[in-house]
Amino acid sequence: MEEQNPLTGVIEQLTKLPSIGQKSAQRLAFFFLSLSKAEVNQFAKILVETRENIKYCTTCFNISFTPQCMVCCDFERNQSILCVVAQPKEIFAIERTHEFKGLYHVLGGLISPIDGMQPDMLRISELILRIKSGQFKEVILALNPTVEGETTALYLASCLKGCPISITKLAYGLPVGADIDYADDMTLQKALSGRRTFE
């Protein structure tokens, strides 16, 4: 039998992680070996349990262990401002800024004809239903400053035409083509506090 590198399997899995190349994977593999068996078990257990139990909030589609996410369950938050994002990871980026105290709605992506992402594949009808309930005074479109983000914002604005709400978008300062969840907290905080009416 051919002798196998005992770390091949671990390294193969670790290189699946974003921005982890062979060298970093090897370093991480040795790090795991330096932990006790109990610590490695705990690490794997939490990863598997989280993946197994994560669901989407039935109201806003944020990730959650319960039918309603921690944002929707928090009645201290401003129930009349809704921030629309493409993905749950952007909620985490915005929450880090402590600038926004309203509610969220996750679309599940952005309109992109090139990638075959059509409006009916996003949670837009759910968004319109929430807005038509009359609960919200302001809707912030916190979408990436990319072609897809702009297309989606224009589409949403046309869907919401005639609704008695103010539609705003993030202020410039976010670099064009940037990802909201990669923006530093200060830039994102300024983009939120300086938001302007969507035209």
Q: List interacting residues with Zn ion (CB under 5 A).
A: 57, 59-60, 62, 69, 72
**Residue 67 or 177 with smaller CB distance to Zn ion:** 67
Residue with tokens 């993946």: 51
Give Cα separations from 118 to 34, 121, 126 (angstroms): 48, 5, 15
**Residue 62 or 187 with smaller CB distance to Zn ion:** 62
**Residue 109 or 173 with smaller CB distance to Zn ion:** 109
The length of the chain is 199
Residue 62 has, within 13 A of its CA and on its CB side, a CA count of 24
Task: Name the minimum Å distance from CB 99 to Zn ion.
Answer: 19
Task: Name the minimum Å distance from CB 52 to Zn ion.
Answer: 20
Q: What is the DSSP string of 23-38?
A: HHHHHHHHHHHHS-HH
**Residue 64 or 187 with smaller CB distance to Zn ion:** 64
Partners of residue 160 on adjacent β-strands: none
Q: Which residues contact 9 (CB under 8 A, 6 or more apart)?
A: none
